[in-house]
């Protein structure tokens, strides 16, 4: 079985579906509310598992009752959770997500800032069993440690570059593939060309920049170009970028070329936007 290891943030996401976002000092009634395990590494891990992979998640959740809700969902996908702080008793990272009828989102999240992630030696034996390792830059020191060991063992390390984070420069020493959003702007970078040149200068061999519905731009040591994104009627974009990363890891781990894996990832991420929430697409597409 193809194995993937995902290192980074786990949140508990409470998602509301509304007609319109509330104005200041007003209330709106939601059409629905749903609770999911979220976060970049987590959603990518769930996608990888759904597609058929054996997935493990390295993160911090703890033992709060809300964290148990996330654990319950991850067990449904047979995901092994390596909790770096299993005795953490406070609430996990919570995200409040509001999605309007046009598929636009408002998100308030505490992310990983208040979650202590004690350092311990990365599990080299577990890393050695994985075909691919993804890091999202949250719990940065943990991402650096696990990526370093994966690099030493010759495992491809994929960076989910959703945005620039302190410590990313050091993390990139171990990154083979960087898949970044248009919001990923390292210091001194103002354009996509700047970002690509910056990443190349730090030894990243494969680079992709996702741009919502626009074609994915890519660059390798041998070629550069774009990968089209299928046109769909967008209902909800929640988790689409994370789904892209998880799908990319699945196809890359099976030996698909960089461009082929990007194309398949774009197809599934676009398909996910046709459905509400980050999971409903899984019952509709493969």
pLDDT score, position 261 = 98
Q: List pLDDT tens digits, range 43-56.
A: 999 999 999 999 99
Sheet holding 105-109, edge to edge: 32-38, 11-17, 94-99, 105-109
pTM, 2 dp = 0.94
Cα distances from 103 to residues 20, 38, 223, in angstroms, run 10, 18, 35
Rg of the chain (C-alpha set)? 18
Arithmetic mean of pLDDT, 239-248: 96
- Give the H or E element holding residue 247: helix 240-253
Arithmetic mean of pLDDT, 144-158: 97
Is residue 285 scored above 60 in pLDDT? no
Q: List pLDDT tens digits, range 101-139.
A: 888 888 888 877 777 777 668 999 999 999 999 999 999
Q: Which of 7, 254, 239, 241 is nearest to 142 (CA)?
A: 7
Q: What is the mean pLDDT of the chain?
A: 93
Proportion of the chain above pLDDT 90, given as a percent:
81
Sign of CA dihedral 119, 123, 126, 128: positive
pLDDT score, position 79 = 98
Least confident of 92-101, 109-118, 250-259: 109-118
Query: Residue 242 in contact with residue 49, Cβ under 8 Å?
Result: no
Taking the C-alpha atoms of residue 253 and residue 130, their distance in angstroms, rounded to an integer, is 9
Is residue 286 scored above 60 in pLDDT? no
Q: List pLDDT tens digits, range 58-92.
A: 999 999 999 999 999 999 999 999 999 999 998 89
- Enter the CATH code of domain 3-10+38-90+117-283: 3.40.1190.20
Residues 6 or more apart whose CB falls under 8 angstroms from that of 273 comprise 103, 232, 234, 235, 236, 237, 240
Confidence band (pLDDT; 50, 70, 90) for 3?
A: very high
Taking the C-alpha atoms of residue 167 and residue 147, their distance in angstroms, rounded to an integer, is 13
Give the domain ranges of the chain.
3-10+38-90+117-283
Q: List pLDDT tens digits, range 6-24.
A: 999 999 999 999 999 988 9
């Amino acid at each position: 079985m193809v194995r993937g290891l995902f290192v980074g943030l786990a949140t508990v996401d409470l998602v509301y579906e509304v007609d319109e976002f509330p104005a200041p000092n007003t209330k709106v009634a939601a059409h629905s509310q749903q609770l999911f395990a979220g976060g970049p590494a987590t959603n990518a891990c769930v996608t990888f598992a759904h597609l058929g992979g054996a997935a493990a998640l390295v993160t911090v959740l703890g033992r709060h009752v809300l964290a148990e809700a996330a654990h319950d969902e991850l067990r449904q996908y047979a995901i092994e959770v390596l909790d770096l702080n299993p005795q953490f008793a406070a609430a996990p990272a919570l995200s409040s997500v509001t999605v309007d009828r046009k598929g636009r989102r408002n998100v308030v999240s505490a992310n990983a800032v208040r979650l202590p992630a004690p350092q311990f030696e990365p599990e080299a034996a577990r890393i050695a069993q994985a075909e691919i390792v993804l890091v999202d830059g949250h719990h940065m020191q943990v991402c650096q440690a696990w990526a370093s060991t994966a690099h030493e063992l010759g495992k491809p390390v994929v960076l989910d570059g959703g945005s620039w984070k302190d410590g990313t420069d050091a993390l990139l020493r171990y990154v083979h593939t960087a898949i970044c959003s248009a919001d990923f702007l390292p210091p001194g970078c103002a354009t996509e060309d700047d970002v690509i040149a910056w990443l190349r200068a730090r030894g990243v061999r494969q680079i992709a920049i996702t741009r919502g519905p626009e074609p994915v731009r890519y660059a390798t040591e041998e070629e550069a170009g774009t990968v089209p994104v299928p046109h769909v009627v967008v209902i909800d974009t929640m988790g689409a970028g994370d789904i892209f990363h998880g799908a990319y890891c699945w196809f890359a781990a099976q030996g698909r070329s960089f461009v082929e894996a990007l194309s398949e990832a774009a197809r599934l991420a676009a398909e996910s936007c046709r459905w509400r929430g980050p999971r409903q697409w899984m019952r509709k597409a493969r």
